[in-house]
Amino acid sequence: MRRSVLVLLFALAAAPALAADAVPVKIQASEAGQHIGETATVVGVLTNVHVTPGKAVLWDIGGNYPDNPFTVYVSKHDTDVVPNVMPLVGKTLAITGQIKSYQGKAEIAVSDPKQVQVAP
């Protein structure tokens, strides 16, 4: 009995660490709006890149703004870390992070180049 309790306590203590190592679910850009608040890998075609007056960079995924189902946001503070993706327009990207809603549209804020991959 005592051993069972110790095993249970260990399992409960280890669960958050194991969950953190879990591979995020992979979804299409058109599905991102259904996964607000979740961490996922969103896959879609990069259709356009915009630089805002405030120097943030917005990537349209799956269509041109305002008809794109998903946006990637790169803060002006991260543009020196996250490479320019303009040469990748037309390519399929896989972007990993927490999906948030901004003005009714699903988006992921990218601050690390490891969050972005060119999909095969």
- Residue recorded with tokens 């349209």: 60
AA identity, residue 61: I
Alpha helix locations (H) across 1-120?
Answer: 2-20
- Interval 24-75: pLDDT, tens: 999 999 999 999 999 999 999 999 999 999 999 999 999 999 999 999 999 9
C-alpha separations of 28 from 9, 36, 48, 61, 62 in Å: 38, 13, 17, 10, 9
C-alpha separations of 52 from 34, 57, 58, 75 in Å: 27, 6, 8, 10
Q: Among 61, 105, 57, which Cα is nearest to 81's?
A: 57
* pLDDT band (50, 70, 90) for residue 14: very low
Q: Among 107, 96, 92, which Cα is nearest to 47's?
A: 92
- pTM of the complete model: 0.82
pLDDT, averaged across the chain = 88
In this prediction, residue 100 carries a pLDDT of: 98
* pLDDT band (50, 70, 90) for residue 120: confident
Residues across the chain? 120
Q: Which CATH superfamily is domain 24-118 in?
A: Nucleic acid-binding proteins (2.40.50.140)
In this prediction, residue 10 carries a pLDDT of: 44
Domain residue spans of the chain: 24-118
Q: Is residue 115 pLDDT above 60, yes or no?
A: yes
